[in-house]
Structures are given as C-alpha cells and as structure tokens.
Amino acid sequence: MAKTYRVTFEPEGKTMFVLDGTTVIEAAGRAEIILNLPCGGKGTCGKCKVEIPVGCPSHTEKELEHLTEDEVHRHTHLACQTHIHGDMTVAIPSETRFFEQKILVEGAGRKVAPEPSVRKTFVKVKEPSLKDQSADMDRVLASIRDIAPDVRVDIDAIRTVPDRLRGGKFAITAVLDEDELLSIEEGDTTAHNYGVAFDIGTTTVVGMLVDMTSGQVVATASRTNPQVVYGDDVISRISYAMENKNGLAELQEQVVAAINEMIAEACREVHVDRRYVYEVFVVGNTTMHHLLLGIHPKNIAQAPYVAAVRKSVEVKAADLGIHINESGRLHAMPNIAGFVGGDTVGVILAAGMMHSSELKLAIDIGTNGELALGTKERMICCSTAAGPAFEGARIKFGMRAADGAIEKVVIHDDVEVNVIGRARPRGLCGTALIDAVAELLRLGIIDPTGKVLPPEEANGNVPDAVRERIVPGGMGHDFVLVHGGETPSGQPILLTQRDVREVQLAKGAIFAGIQILKQELGVKDEDITEVLLAGAFGNFIRRNMAKRIGLLPDIPTDRIKFIGNAAGAGSRMALVAKGCRREAERISAETEYIELGGRPDFQNEFMMAMMYPERLNHA
Amino acid sequence: MAKTYRVTFEPEGKTMFVLDGTTVIEAAGRAEIILNLPCGGKGTCGKCKVEIPVGCPSHTEKELEHLTEDEVHRHTHLACQTHIHGDMTVAIPSETRFFEQKILVEGAGRKVAPEPSVRKTFVKVKEPSLKDQSADMDRVLASIRDIAPDVRVDIDAIRTVPDRLRGGKFAITAVLDEDELLSIEEGDTTAHNYGVAFDIGTTTVVGMLVDMTSGQVVATASRTNPQVVYGDDVISRISYAMENKNGLAELQEQVVAAINEMIAEACREVHVDRRYVYEVFVVGNTTMHHLLLGIHPKNIAQAPYVAAVRKSVEVKAADLGIHINESGRLHAMPNIAGFVGGDTVGVILAAGMMHSSELKLAIDIGTNGELALGTKERMICCSTAAGPAFEGARIKFGMRAADGAIEKVVIHDDVEVNVIGRARPRGLCGTALIDAVAELLRLGIIDPTGKVLPPEEANGNVPDAVRERIVPGGMGHDFVLVHGGETPSGQPILLTQRDVREVQLAKGAIFAGIQILKQELGVKDEDITEVLLAGAFGNFIRRNMAKRIGLLPDIPTDRIKFIGNAAGAGSRMALVAKGCRREAERISAETEYIELGGRPDFQNEFMMAMMYPERLNHA
C-alpha cells in the first residue's frame, strides 16, 4: 500500500487519511468540508486560506503572493496549493467555507444583497376602549398602514391576534410576506427572522438555516434522503409511488420528516425558536419536487416525460406538515422539464450563467447528468441517463463514497490507492473508478475501444508489478486494484472488463449530451470559457482524470471549476433575495430543454463518445 | 277554545291549525313556508299568489285587480289578502316562495345579476409529445391564456392536473376563481357550477345550494345549530370555549359537521356532485363567525367587546374540514363589531339600505336585537341586549315556537289562543307573549307602568270571563291564559306579573336602541320610510301588537315590512355576485357602530322605553 498521512480538520475534529501529495483542498472535500474556490484551484484568487498549526509545510512562492507577514507567521496556507507530505492539523476559518461564504448570496462575479420576502416591523397598537371598539386586526392594520397599505391577512394571524396583542400589551411585531400579513408577535421580535434553504437530492438532503437580515447561514444540517429505502434513483421512487396505494403519501411523509428533523436540529444548534422561521425554500430534481409537494410524478417516468408543473409553487408549510411558524410558507424552485428540475435552475442561478456574456457549461453528475450550456442570450439544457456507475451501482466492486471505499487510484511503479476512513479497502467509489480507467488508458492497458488488453499486448513501458495485475476474467481481462491479501474478505478488488464498459456508457452519455448542446448552439470546445462542476460527485472528480477518460471535454484544466453544492447555493440565494426568485422564474421559463431521447444525432454522438480518447490536447 | 281550521300546504303536505280569520300568509309562515311579500302585505304588489283548490273562498276586489281570468278559475288568491274561515288546501307555486325568488339576488328594488367569482371554461389542451414536453400545468395555462393571462394556481389543481388531463383526453374544463386556477376537470363540466350560501344563526343554520350560472337556489337545507347543546346564546358558547381546553375546537367541529351534512343533503336532493360546489359563503353573528373559523371569541364577551377581525375572510374550505371541491373556498361575510356581525351586513345588503336615499330601519330580534338605521349617506347600527324573553327564556310558561306552544292570543268575549301542532297548550312562544301583553294593555288590565291590575281596578269594559282570569300571584297579580282543565299538566298557563316585567325590559332595550339611533342621525319616526323586520322571529310578529307594547315605533303599519331571512338573502347575494361582496365590504367598513353600554343617554331612554305606550297614533 502507498504511503498515507493523517489530516485532522478543525474545528470539526474530522480526521482523514490521504495519499502522499494530495492537496489540502481535496482532503477537505473528502471530509465533506467544502471550501470557497472561485479561481478553480489555480492559486490566483487567494480565497482558500487555511491555517496549519501542526505539520505546517513551507510556503510556495505563489502562496506568498497572497499572504501577509502576519498570516505567514500564523501558518496560513492556500488549501489549493498545499500538498500533503506528512500528518497535519488544518484549521478552516469560517470565511473560507463555502457554506458560510458570500458566494452563496452571490452569483459568479455579481453581488446579491439580502432582499428577504419576509419583513418585520415593531409597532405600538392603539388599545381598544368603549370609545374605540374596532376589531383587533383592524387596529393592527391601521398601525402598519404606512408601510403596508393594502395587505391580505393569513387566517392563522387572525386566530392568534387577540392573544398576541394582549400578551404584548399592544406592543407587537407584524410579520409581512409581500402583500400578506403572516403573523403578529408579542413585543419586539424584529431581530429574529429566519429561513431555511433546502437542497433535496435523490440521495442527500442538505438544509441551511439562514438569518434573513444578514443573508448569512447560521447552521446547517444534512442527512440521507430517507426515501432511499424505496430505491436509489428517481425511477424506483416513481415506481414505488405508482405500485403502492399510499406510495406517494409515504414518500412525501418520509422527506417531510427529514425536513422537520433538520430544521429542528439546525434551530437547536444556534438556539433559534422555530416559530421565527417564516420561509422554507426547496430545490430538487423534478421528481423530488413532486414527491415533496404531493404531486404524483408518474408521467415523468414515461415518454414524453412530462412534469405536472414547471412554475414555482408556494404553499403553506403547515399544509405539508412542515413545522415552522404557523403561517410560514414553503417555496419550491421552478422546474425546467421532467428530467431537469429546480436543482439545475439553482445551479444556473448560483453560477450567474444567465447574467454572463461568457459561454459556460454546467455539469451536475448523478444518476442522471444534467447539463446546461449558454450565455445570457440563450441557455439550453439536457439530461442524460448516465446510469448509476459513478455512484457505484453496476460496478463489480462499486460502492458509495463511504468508509472502506477506494477514492483515489495512482499508478507509478505499482498501484497506489487511498481508502476513506482508514479502513481496509472493500470496494471503489466513482472517483477511483475514473482514476483507474484513466491510469490504465494512460499506460496502454485499456485501448481506445475500451478493451482491457491481455498482459502480453499491453504497452512495453508498463512496470511488471502492474502488468501482473492483468488477469483473465469473465468478459476478457480484468485488472487487480488491490490484492486479496490486503482486503478484509481476502478477495482481490478488481476493475473488470464489464466495469470498463459501464464507464464507457456513462461517460459516453454525458459527453454526447455535451456535444449535442454545443451543436445546438453552434459552438466548439474552445468557445467554452468555463466548465462548472456542480454537486457532491463533481467536486471530488480529478479533472485531468475525467478529461482522460473523455467524461469532460478536452479544454484547459484551469477552465474546469468546482462550484460545490451550487443547487443548494441557488436555493439559499432565492431564499434571501426576491430578485433571485424572479431570476429563477426567468431561468425556468427561458432555458430551452433539449430532449435527447430518440434523436438520431444523439445516438450517433453517443456511439462515438463511447470510444476513449487516444490522447488529449490539454492534458 | 276558539274555532280553528285545518290548512294543508302543498306540495309539502304540511298541516297547520289556525284561528278563524288568520291570513294565509301568516299560516304559511307558521308552517315555515316563507312567501315573497315585497309590498309588506298590503295587497298592492300581487306577488304572493297561491292556489286554493280545496276550500277556496270568494275573491276580494283587491285580489281581482291582480288576477287574470284564468287565474281566478284556477282558484288563485293573494296569500296576504285571504283570511281563513274554513278548512283549506293551499298550493304554493315556486315563484311565490321567498327562497326561490329573485328577491334573493335582488336588493329592495334593484336588480343584481349573477356575477359569480368562479367561472368555468372548456378548452382543448395540446397533447404532449417528445417535441413538446412542457409541463401539464404550462399547457393548461397556455390554453386559457386569452381569458386568464396571469393566474395563480392552487396546489390541489397541480396535484390533480396530470390525471384530469389524461382522463379527459386533453379536453378539460378549467375552473377559475378570480385570478386563481382552482381546478381542472375532465371533459366539459361548464354546466355544473354551484355554491352554497349559509346563514349560521345561534339557533338555526340555513343553507341554500345555488346554481351559480342562473343565480337560482336549487335546494335548501336547515337544521338546529348543534352548538345549542353548549348553551342557547352566544355568551354561553363563548364561556364554553373559554372554560374548556378544546372548547373552541369542539364548537367548530359541531358547526362544520352540520354544514357538511347540509351540503350533502342539498346536493343529494338535486343530484349535484359535491365536487362541483366551489364556494361556500357564510353569514353569522360575530361569535358564530369566529367559532366557525376557529378564532377564539373571548374578547367579544368582555368590555370593550372587541372582535378579532372585521374584514371578510377567505379560506380553503378543506382547511376547515368542509367537503366541497378540493380547492373550493369559504368566504365569510365581514363583520361590523363584536355584537353586530356579518348577519347584519347581510340584512343591510339584502335590503339595499346602502343604495337608498330613503331612511330605513332594519330590526333583527333574537337574544340580541341588532338595529341598523340610515341611508346611503350614513348608516349606523347598534346591538341591544334584548334578553331571551321573546325566545321563551325567563318567562314562566315560555317556550320556543314548537308543538304545544301558544303562538297567538286574541281577546274578545274571552281569551282565544292558537296552538302549534294541534296539541294541547303547554306554554307560550314570543309572538303570543307580545299578543297577550298587547291585548291586556288594550283592555286596561295592564297599566302603562306594566302593573297587572287587580280584577276590581281593571277597566269596566272588560268582559267578566276575562276579568275572572286575573288571579293573585307572587309579585302581585297574574293572568290565566289557559285554564288548568285544558292543559296536559292540569295546571293553568299564566302570564305572570314577572313575565310582563321581562317583556318590558326586552322591548325597552330595543325601543331605546331605536331612539338612540334616531337621535344620532337627528331624525324622527315620521322620517322613517320603512321598518324592516328580519329573521325568523321578526317574520311572525303581528305588527300592531308589537307597536301596542312599544316594541316597534308608532309608525303606520304598512311601513313595517317583513323581509324574511334577509341575512341569508344577503349571504346568497354575496355568493352569486362579486359586486355584492364589494358592497358588503363597504357596508362593514362604513357602517358606524354605536356602543350603547355605559351611555347615560341610553340609560335614560331605556328607563323611559320600559313604560308601555298609553295609546298609538297609528294603530
């Protein structure tokens, strides 16, 4: 096994074991600590500063350009420029974190000031007497007439107004959401105005509790989408809803329960009373969106793959069983199509693609790969059925990125692997799958057609230790990543010929999707200013490896950027700024959806894209 | 006992026994069949036509002015001009009925055309294909863009749109409520558009199923408000809600259950599917309003008697547990004050008082007497605590107008009474109470201070049989209405001295309220063009008797009109015409509420009004 080092991240106290030479930013990502990285890891923006109190290496020239003398003394480094060659402790300041960063209320390059929909105002209300018997709500409305001359009133605000007025001795805070009076609160509560932005993924649900006045995230929570017990992908969820009488209601209850737990957890963490949470904003793919709102997604699963609703939806949170303020609202990001949902709208919004004259390509790889390409002039998108290969399914030793998963493969004299959680290796996750195929392509062990060559046909430069790992298998030859003696089961971990074919299908679908989008816009690789990798998987991909296997276009690596949980960032932006909601509506309405299914030109591109590239121009 | 005759009303088959000389319209009212009577019973409008196939009397000159030759042959009579001097069968055509009459969509003298808030439109929607994958709701919205360019969409419409579109083979009916798309229905359902108008009284709930296209009532239902088990009057309901943990919820559930039963019953009667009912409109006093909507009414019961909300409230009917179309709405008539609710707004609306330059006084007598006086220039109102005397409470032999209740008292040579339901008399209801006091005042048995005189002090003209009925009692003298031998219990039915005092208090409060309203507007009795008696009790009062005891002002009897269930009529008008909703909002906002409690001038008027009038100018 290759040399690994222990890295501890503070203040979380999370410890990772990483291969020699891994960058700090990559290690942090593996520890699920996402850092701000506007320049894409080139070391030019100086935004990814961390402190390394234990095991601090020397500073590079590039780092010193961005550090003050004081910072150098405090062992500050740029996480993207620091390679790990020994055990270390890394402290990550909050300003470097993606979740607590301004990028979440900023699109790429543009500021978005907090402009919450919900506003609060403290007023003293005239007390009733026999000479002034007007109704409680009338006197509240009179007291806010200057700032809200004509408001509708929520029924729960009416139900609670008598006690709140008297409880507050007629000094109350009115909570307004646009032209609606949501709630009356006793005394001055104007300092307490919260919302929660959710990214509801098929696998993971992420929630961010936001102080609506500052626009800052004050707590986060995440957990596995409890619907996974009904199946890994959206199709299996839809099938469950179709085949079981109360299937839709069950799936809805599951995700609502998770949302409630996460809101409670985040509120508890920072001592926020849940009744001061007035808005929930959710993004998700169209199926997750429909399931949460109790809309049957069955027509998404069958041609012509039609969603029930595209536009944004607003409902009373309590009507879905979500526990926030009794009058609080839930807003759902608008969708684009049955297989391009509000999560993609969130990515386009967060990346500011609809504000840019520069051509950008956003890629969100999961079971499906959602792609968006365009400028503010025209934006198009598509969804490709990438299959679950990168999530570990259909791969002989495939597994999710959990303890015991190989997450990185490097081949020099022999194979070196890094395993998550300092466990002995049990399988490999998506990034290692890409690494392994890329390295074997580089070494000439896999040929451009995807065939694993027998030992005698492999390139003459291949070291013997590596060549000996090529063994006969069911479909030809397989490659031994880890020998049997190093695994808990005693069985070797293989990359099989069949696995290589699965990767071909998956990367071929995504690459062909990119080709179709480019053709549709009449652009070439060199016209693409930035490739934006969104989502959890995208942020762990090693860009050169992804290009090597032909998953990503062959454009300079520094133009390929990680934008983290951009769907979640879009959710948060839309939560805190009304302008972003309007922009999201525009993205949803104006982004053209390109259906790849049944297109002859897509089939052709797909056949070609399944080949592995012979070599790259921009390695 | 005096002579009574049997009258059978068709098509109901209801049979009543009435005193000789009773008018057909009065008998019909006692049978709870309310007839149209725009002229107030003067025989000038000719609207109360009925047919008398059995026992038809000869026609009067006045009747013949309004009847065609054919009608005379069909035994048609005017119900207000026909006195009963023998058994008869009366057939009441639907156009004569109050509930099925245009007066319910007309104010007094003005036409209100149906202008429903909910409208339906049948459209053919473009079917989806791989070339047109827009969401279901997008394609519906595109198909109605011409008539509804910018609509919000109800969440339940989104939930049901996929199945409804496909179930209707993309030919559907869109149901719009103002700027909201409520529902999508399979095929062409434009012929089915219903609403239900409710009058939720403290004692009785009345519901009218209305065809919203024609504005006509197609079925009615009524029942006792099930909340009566928690107490007869609003104060006892409020107390129950205050003293029991789930009191408010219990009271709400009771009335919601009654509403659901009545909707089901009315729909069943005319084979209307409940999902085609899109709107419920309710009027009620402020306490009934609050209880239905789940708003605690406790502050109404204590000074300064403040309601939680005055303006109209709209909620999703399903949120209250009311079963109509899944997206249907409930609208509540706006209130005026804690003790003048949406029912009074309904009366003012139905009577067109806010459209008239003529000064009108509306009186709705129940436990409280609600009074409204004014013209389109200025409208004022008040509520007087009349006490439940007219409903039978606190009266020694008082009872509601049920079987065995004396409902009419006439004194000639001796006392003649009419009893409801051909039973032997058990007690007396409000109208008989008024009759008895009025007759004893006329005969000089009760003096203007309200004292029942001993036999030797009564006027010399009193027949002996009557004089002998004056007997010593607990507070002085009582009057025997029915001798013990004629009652089931064997005990005589008395009008006691205490009863006479209760009537003094009740009529005094109402009369004093009228005085204060007149003073407030600076008007006199002779300026009042019409006195409008609303509600069930008001419609059974004999006007001369009510004037005789000083309950009503001493103005010519033909200016005192019965306007039936005007609150219910107002509910129906607001249900079918948006213009009426706007007018109701204006009535609620502009009608000034005069608080009588604690006003020295009211106390003074009240003391004076407790005296009985010595004689009338307009007997």
Q: Which string of DSSP letters, residue by residue, matches A60-72?
A: PHHHHTT--HHHH
Read off the tokens for A547. 């290009």
Q: Angle, nearest 10°, between helix axes A342-350 and A286-293? A: 120
Nearest to A272 by CA among A322, A220, A236: A220
Burial-class residue A588 by CB neighbours within 10 Å (0-12, 13-18, 19+).
buried
Q: How far is the C-alpha of A538 from the C-alpha of A545, rounded, in Å?
A: 12
DSSP label of B82: P
Burial-class residue B460 by CB neighbours within 10 Å (0-12, 13-18, 19+).
exposed
B21 backbone φψ class: left, alpha, beta (φ>0; ψ -120 to 50): left
Residue of A nearest to B595 (CA): A130
pLDDT computed for residue B36 by the predictor: 66
pLDDT in tens, A258-288: 999 999 999 999 999 999 999 999 999 999 9
From residue B278, give the alpha-carbon distance in Å to each of B114, B211, B319, B329: 15, 11, 14, 6
pLDDT computed for residue A140 by the predictor: 97
Which of B136, B295, B299 faces A308 most closely, judged by CB atoms? Answer: B136
B contact test, residue of A165, A306, A383 with most B CBs within 10 A: A306
Q: Angle, nearest 10°, between helix axes A342-350 and A566-576? A: 80
Q: Check CB contact of A293 with chain B, cutoff 8 Å.
A: yes
pLDDT in tens, A127-146: 999 889 999 999 999 999 99
Least confident of A244-248, A341-345, B110-114, B352-356: B110-114
pLDDT computed for residue A517 by the predictor: 97
Q: Check CB contact of A295 with chain B, cutoff 8 Å.
A: yes
Residue of A nearest to B331 (CA): A155
pLDDT computed for residue B98 by the predictor: 57
Q: Check CB contact of B468 with chain A, cutoff 8 Å.
A: no
Read off the tokens for A199. 């990214």
Q: Which residues of A touch B158 (CB under 8 A)?
A: 293, 295, 308-309, 313
B421 backbone φψ class: left, alpha, beta (φ>0; ψ -120 to 50): left
DSSP label of A569: H
Question: Would the CB atoms of A153 and B337 count as touching at under 8 Å?
Answer: no
Residue of B nearest to A305 (CA): B133
Q: How far is the C-alpha of B252 from the C-alpha of B241, rounded, in Å?
A: 10
Q: Could you tell me whether strands A216-224 and A204-211 are parallel, antiparallel, or unpaired per DSSP bridges?
A: antiparallel
Q: Check CB contact of B527 with chain A, cutoff 8 Å.
A: no
Beta bridge partners of B236: none
Does residue B7 contact residue B15 with C-beta atoms inside 8 Å? yes
- Taking 50 as the pLDDT cut, the residues of chain B under it are 99-110
The whole-angstrom distance between B432's CA and the closest CA on chain A is 37
Q: Check CB contact of B159 with chain A, cutoff 8 Å.
A: yes
Beta-sheet strand order (sheet of A476-482) = A470-473, A476-482, A493-495
Dihedral angle computed from the Cα positions of residues B304, B308, B311 and B315, in that order, rounded to the nearest 10 degrees: -160
CB pairs under 8 A between A and B: 135
Beta-sheet strand order (sheet of B415-419) = B415-419, B405-411, B427-428
Give the SS3 label for residue A269: helix
Q: How far is the C-alpha of A317 from the C-alpha of A426, rounded, in Å?
A: 43
Alpha carbon distance, N-terminus to C-terminus of chain A: 27
pLDDT computed for residue B1 by the predictor: 53
> Across residues A9-36, what is the average pLDDT?
82
Q: Check CB contact of B380 with chain A, cutoff 8 Å.
A: no
Which of A158, A305, A309 faces B295 most closely, judged by CB atoms? Answer: A158
Which of B155, B163, B310 faces A138 most closely, judged by CB atoms? Answer: B310
Does residue A448 contact residue A514 with C-beta atoms inside 8 Å? no
From residue A119, give the alpha-carbon distance in Å to each of A124, A324, B398, B569: 17, 16, 57, 41
B contact test, residue of A152, A158, A289 with most B CBs within 10 A: A158
Q: How many degrees, rounded to 5, is the angle at CA B505 between CA B384 and CA B31?
A: 75
Q: Check CB contact of B585 with chain A, cutoff 8 Å.
A: no
The whole-angstrom distance between B595's CA and the closest CA on chain A is 7
Question: Would the CB atoms of A135 and B337 count as touching at under 8 Å?
Answer: yes
Q: How far is the C-alpha of B38 from the C-alpha of B530, rounded, in Å?
A: 12
pLDDT computed for residue A536 by the predictor: 67
Q: Which residues of B touch A130 (CB under 8 A)?
A: 303-304, 595, 597-598
Least confident of A221-225, A489-493, A613-617: A613-617
The whole-angstrom distance between B384's CA and the closest CA on chain A is 15
Q: Check CB contact of A281 with chain B, cutoff 8 Å.
A: no
Least confident of A15-24, A104-113, A602-611, B588-597: A104-113
For A600, the enclosing helix (H) or strand (E) is helix A600-609
Nearest to A192 by CA among A285, A99, A119, A111: A119
pLDDT computed for residue B103 by the predictor: 28
DSSP label of B35: B
Residue A100 has pLDDT above 80, yes or no: no
Q: How far is the C-alpha of B387 from the C-alpha of B367, rounded, in Å?
A: 5
pLDDT computed for residue B348 by the predictor: 95
pLDDT computed for residue B313 by the predictor: 97
Q: Check CB contact of B321 with chain A, cutoff 8 Å.
A: no
Q: Check CB contact of A161 with chain B, cutoff 8 Å.
A: yes
Does residue B347 contact residue B364 with C-beta atoms inside 8 Å? yes
Residue of B nearest to A286 (CA): B135
Q: Could you tell me whether strands A277-284 and A329-332 are parallel, antiparallel, or unpaired per DSSP bridges?
A: parallel
pLDDT computed for residue B48 by the predictor: 85
pLDDT band at A216, cuts 50/70/90? confident
pLDDT computed for residue A35 by the predictor: 74
The whole-angstrom distance between B288's CA and the closest CA on chain A is 14
Q: Which residues contact A315 (CB under 8 A, 6 or more apart)?
A: A293, A329, A330, B155
Question: Would the CB atoms of A159 and B296 count as touching at under 8 Å?
Answer: yes
- CA A46, chain centre distance (Å): 23
Percentage of chain A exceeding pLDDT 70: 94
The whole-angstrom distance between B463's CA and the closest CA on chain A is 52
Question: Would the CB atoms of A163 and B296 count as touching at under 8 Å?
Answer: yes
> Across residues A197-203, what is the average pLDDT?
90
The whole-angstrom distance between A341's CA and the closest CA on chain B is 11
Percentage of chain A exceeding pLDDT 90: 64
pLDDT in tens, A163-195: 999 999 999 999 999 999 999 999 999 999 999
Q: Which residues of B touch A133 (CB under 8 A)?
A: 304-306, 337-338, 593, 595
pLDDT computed for residue B33 by the predictor: 76
Pick the most confident of A20-34, A508-522, B228-242.
A508-522
Question: Would the CB atoms of A294 and B159 count as touching at under 8 Å?
Answer: yes
Cα Dmax for chain A: 103
- Interface pTM, i.e. ipTM: 0.81
pLDDT band at A449, cuts 50/70/90? very high
> Across residues A144-168, what is the average pLDDT?
95
Residue A155 has pLDDT above 50, yes or no: yes
Q: Which amino acid is at A428?
A: L
Which of A130, A135, A337 faces B309 most closely, judged by CB atoms? Answer: A135
Alpha carbon distance, N-terminus to C-terminus of chain B: 27
DSSP label of A366: S
Nearest to B338 by CA among B295, B374, B377: B295
The whole-angstrom distance between B134's CA and the closest CA on chain A is 7
Which of A133, A158, A163 faces B337 most closely, judged by CB atoms? Answer: A133
Which of A131, A133, A335 faces B305 most closely, judged by CB atoms? Answer: A133
Which of A162, A303, A308 faces B308 most closely, judged by CB atoms? Answer: A162
Q: What are the b/e assignments for B184-211, b being 16+ CB within 10 Å?
A: bbbeebeebbbbbbbbbbbbbbbbbbbb
Dihedral angle computed from the Cα positions of residues B332, B335, B338 and B340, in that order, rounded to the nearest 10 degrees: -120
Q: What phi, psi does B444 have (nearest 5°)?
A: 80, 20
Cα Rg for chain A, rounded, in angstroms? Answer: 26
Q: Which residues of B touch A132 (CB under 8 A)?
A: 304
pLDDT band at A153, cuts 50/70/90? very high
pLDDT computed for residue B120 by the predictor: 96
Read off the tokens for B5. 């005759």
pLDDT in tens, A293-315: 999 999 999 999 999 999 999 99
Does residue A292 contact residue A255 with C-beta atoms inside 8 Å? yes
pLDDT in tens, B549-606: 999 999 998 899 888 788 988 999 999 999 999 999 999 999 999 999 878 899 899 9
